[in-house]
Amino acid sequence: MWSSSFVESPFVISDDVAGQDLTDDADWRENRFFHRRPSAETFAWAAASLGGASRIVGHRRLTGGVNSAVHRLTVDQHGSRTFVVLRQYPAGSIALRTALEEEIATLKVVEGSGLPVPAILATDVAGTETGGAPSLIMTQLPGHIDLNPAERGPWITSIAEFAARLHAVDLPAPTFRPWTDSWITPLGQFQVPVGARQPAVWKAGFDAMESPPPDDGAVFLHCDYLPVNLLWSRGKITGLTDWNGIHRGSRAIDVGQSRRYLASLYSPDWAEELRLRYESIAGVPLHPWWDLYALLHHADNTPESISHQVAGRRPIDLSGMTARVEIAVEQALRRLGEHPEIPDS
């Protein structure tokens, strides 16, 4: 995924991480690195970087991260305590180190945008002072991930409103390239996911992707605009995390990814409601091709990935996930005018 968000552990680089390029090795996700406390070197670096006679007096692993280990550090400065967030990647992965570099660069771009984003406090991209682990310390944003809204309507409306606010920001970013800048299956390699009830719907979606991506007014995109990356407090969104993939492109990319998540976790009705509310708030329709493109990021490994990100925050019906997304895919095809002839079941 374009990434994920998170929710109190001396560390030595394990033999199965040190010296390896983990770029193409899926097994790194299960490595012990993600379950260990930060190293003594990391704590010393953090304290020195934060200055003011800082001492790290507590830490808590935050759940839900897919690509990195994230901890909340408790910092004591002359008896006053504050919290900061430490993100670390395992040593040995060129791709993950690059991801950290991109996040640092992106945070610098958005720091003056007025959006509620983390501020950079310290970086060690090479891991020179952290036992080899590329590291970033950020401010802690207020709020928490809320996947159990008391009221569906206001919750979805807030997600739509924040997306419109995000897309109205005028910041520089590279143009989004659909077959290069995301983890979607390459053209010609799509496969109907396990659990599909109407394979023809998926095949029609794959066929639609063969047409050239349509022009659609480019806006500023987060490119990982998911409910697990939004922080809430008292019914309002207080933060957006995981800034490592900004681009400029169709607004349907961000909203479509969030729609895919809503269909996966809740129902296609929630996903459709988000589309309608966003279009009403932003005053523009979502292009169905780009919406379909975002929805087709669903694959056989998606349920497991989403389950990891949700991290027990709510029950998940994994077996029905594909069928729910399938309905959203079919609806997008109808809006695009390319719907297959589906026999009555």
Angle at the Cα of 215 from the Cα atoms of 115 and 251, rounded to 5 degrees: 25
Per-residue DSSP letter, 335: H
The whole-number pLDDT of residue 194 equals 94
The whole-number pLDDT of residue 12 equals 23
**pLDDT grade for 341, boundaries at 50, 70 and 90:** low
Q: Which CATH class is domain 26-139?
A: alpha beta
Residue ranges, comma separated, of all CATH 3.90.1200.10 domains in the chain are 152-336
Superfamily of domain 152-336: Aminoglycoside phosphotransferase (APH), C-terminal lobe (3.90.1200.10)
> In this structure, what token pair is assigned to residue 111?
């720091």
Is residue 21 scored above 60 in pLDDT?
no
Give the integer Cα–Cα distance in Å for 317 and 218.
Answer: 35
pLDDT in tens, 169-224: 999 999 999 999 988 889 989 999 999 999 999 999 999 999 999 999 999 999 99
The whole-number pLDDT of residue 65 equals 64
Is residue 11 scored above 80 in pLDDT?
no
Q: What is the mean pLDDT of the chain?
A: 88
Give the integer Cα–Cα distance in Å for 260 and 290.
Answer: 12
> In this structure, what token pair is assigned to residue 51?
């200055």
Residue ranges, comma separated, of all CATH 3.30.200.20 domains in the chain are 26-139
> In this structure, what token pair is assigned to residue 308?
């990891």
Residue of 154 and 4 predicted with greater confidence: 154
> In this structure, what token pair is assigned to residue 67?
């690509």
Cβ 343 vs Cβ 198: under 8 Å: no
Mean of the pLDDT values across residues 86-115? 92
Is residue 26 scored above 80 in pLDDT?
no
Cβ 136 vs Cβ 120: under 8 Å: yes
